[in-house]
Amino acid sequence: EHMLLSKPPVNSNSNAPLLSEALSTYLKRKGEGKDKIFVRASNRNIKYVIELLGDLPIDEYSSKDASKFRDYLLDRGLLISSVKRIFSSIRSIINLSISEEGISCINAFSKTYMPESNNVEIRKPIPIKDIRHIQSLCREYDDDLRWLIALLSDSGMRLGEAVGLLKSDINLDLDIPHINLVPHLWRRLKTRGSQRCIPLIGASLWASKKILDNRNDSIYAFPRYTSKDNCNTNSASAALNKWLKEQLTDNYVIHGFRHGFRDRLRAIECPSEIIDQLGGWSLRSIGQGYGSGYDLDILHK
Q: Which residues pair with 197 in a beta bridge?
A: 180
> 133 and 111 in contact (C-beta within 8 Å)?
no
Positive/negative CA dihedral, 240, 245, 250, 251: positive
Which pTM does this prediction carry? 0.68
Nearest alpha carbon to residue 284 among 265, 271, 295: 271
pLDDT of residue 180: 97
CA dist 96 and 54 (Å) reads 20
Burial zone of 160 (CB within 10 Å; 0-12 exposed, 13-18 middle, 19+ buried) = buried
Q: What is the average pLDDT score of the chain?
A: 89
Q: pLDDT digit string (tens) for 169-218?
A: 999 999 999 999 999 989 888 877 899 999 999 999 999 999 999 888 99
Within 10 angstroms of residue 75's Cβ, the number of other Cβ atoms is: 8
Task: Indicate whether 155 pLDDT > 90.
Answer: yes
| Residue 105, C-beta contacts closer than 8 angstroms, at least 6 positions apart | 14, 16, 58, 59, 98
Cα R_g (the chain), whole angstroms: 23
Q: pLDDT digit string (tens) for 227-246?
A: 998 899 989 999 999 999 99
Please, which pLDDT band fits residue 1 given cuts at 50, 70 and 90?
very low
pLDDT of residue 6: 45
DSSP 168: G
Please, which pLDDT band fits residue 11 given cuts at 50, 70 and 90?
very low
Task: Indicate whether 157 pLDDT > 50.
Answer: yes
